[in-house]
Amino acid sequence: MSLSRRKFLSTAAVSSTAGLIMGAPHVARAQSTQTFEWRMTNAYGPGAPFYVEGPGSPTDFCRKVEALSDGRLKIHHFAAGELIPALEGFNAVSSGMIEMNAGNAYFWAGQIPAAQYFTTVPFGMNTQGMNAWIYHGGGQQLWDELYASRGLVAMPMGNTGVQMTGWFRQPIEGIGDLNGLKMRIPGLAGKVYNELGVAVRLLPGGEIFPALERGVIDAAEFVGPYQDRRMGLHKAAKHYYTTGWHEPTNVTELLINKAVWESLPADLQSIVRTAAMACNLESQAWCESVNAEALADLVENEGVIAQPLPTEVVERLEMVTAEVLEAMASEDAETRKVHDAFMAFRDKHASWAGVSEKTFLNLRA
C-alpha cells in the first residue's frame, strides 16, 4: 500500500466528520477522487510519427494526462479507422459519441470556415506568432466562442512548425505551370491554388503516395522532410519546393465535447490544458530536431532537388491569398471577426519579429 493511500485511509474518518459539519468541503474531497475514462479518435492513421506516436504526440498526451492525474483521467486513443473514419472526428465529438479527437481545425472548414485560422493561414504567422496569438493575444477566447455553439472546446496540442510547399513531378518555373495541375493540398492554401487553376484534392495521408506515384495527382503537400521521407514521396516526385508560404505553422487541434469537459473537476481540466501545452512545445521541438538530417539525406542520397519557389510565383500567391481571405471573411460574421483579429495580431507581431528573429537569422544567412 502506498504512503499516500495509507494517509488517505487514516484521515478518512476525520474527513467524513468534517464533511457532515461543513458540507461543501466534503463534496470537494469526494469529487477529487472521481475517475474518468474517455476515448480519443484521430484524423491520422496508426503509427504516424508526430500525429499519433512519439514525443508530444496524441498518444504521448494521453500518457501525460494519466500520469499527472494519478490515473483519475484515462484516455484510450484510437487512430483513424480504428473506431471511426479519419475525418469524422468533429461530428463524433460534437454529438457526444466520442469525448476527444486529435486532428486539425481546417478539416472542418466545410462546417466552420473560420476554424481554418486556428490551424494555419497562408502568409500568416509562424509558430511563435501563432502561439502568442492563441495563448496571449485573444485567439483562444475566439476559438472558445466559435466552437461553444457546436458543443465543443478546443486547444492546441501540437505543432509541426513551418511546412514545405510540397512535391512536384515537374518543375515550377512560372505561375503558368500551376494552371491545370492536380494537387493534394488542404486548408486555405487549397482555395488560393484553386484560383490559379490548380485542381485541388483533399486526400488522407495514407492515400497521398499511391496517388502521386500513379499520376492521379501531379503534386502533393504533406508536412516536412522527415514525415515526407517516411511516406516515400521522394520516390514519386523529385522536385521539392521549400517555400512554406501556405503553412508557416500548423497547429494540432485537441477537440473535446463541451459537456464532458465541463463535467471534469477544475484540477483535471488544468491537467488537460497543461499536458496539451507541453505537447504543443515538445512536438514542435521534435520536428525541428529531425528535419535537418532528413532534408540532407533526401538531397544527398535520394536525388531530390530542394529549392524555393520562383519569386514571381510567390508574389502572385501572396496577392491571391489576400483576395481569397478577404472574400471568405466577407461571407459570414464569424469568419470576419476571427480574420480581423488574426490579421491585427499578425501585423503587430511582425513589427517585433522583424527586429528580433528576422534580424538574427539574417546575420547567420
Which residues sit in the known binding site for Na(+)?
A: 222
CB 334 within 8 A of CB 112: yes
CB 58 within 8 A of CB 292: no
- For the chain, what is the radius of gyration of the CA atoms? 23
CB 233 within 8 A of CB 205: no
Residues within the annotated binding site for substrate?
163, 184, 221, 247
Q: What are the grid coordinates assigned to 253, written together?
A: 487541434
Between CA 100 and CA 177 the distance in angstroms is 42
Between CA 339 and CA 330 the distance in angstroms is 10
Q: In what order do the strands lie in the sheet with 100-103?
A: 73-78, 36-42, 100-103, 251-257, 152-159
Q: Which of 246, 283, 266 is nearest to 44 (CA)?
A: 283
Q: Which residues are within 8 A (CB) of 256 and not within 5 positions of it... i.e. 6 or more apart?
A: 93, 99, 100, 152, 153, 154, 155, 272
Which contacts of 6-14 are long-range, i.e. CB under 8 A and separated by 24 or more positions? none
Residues within the annotated binding site?
163, 184, 221-222, 247
Between CA 284 and CA 72 the distance in angstroms is 28
Q: Which of 34, 322, 44 is nearest to 205 (CA)?
A: 44
Between CA 114 and CA 103 the distance in angstroms is 16
Q: What angle do CA 249, 78, 206 make, to 5 degrees?
A: 60
Beta bridge partners of 254: 102, 155
Beta bridge partners of 199: 182
Between CA 315 and CA 147 the distance in angstroms is 34
Q: Which of 358, 354, 346 is nearest to 120 (CA)?
A: 346
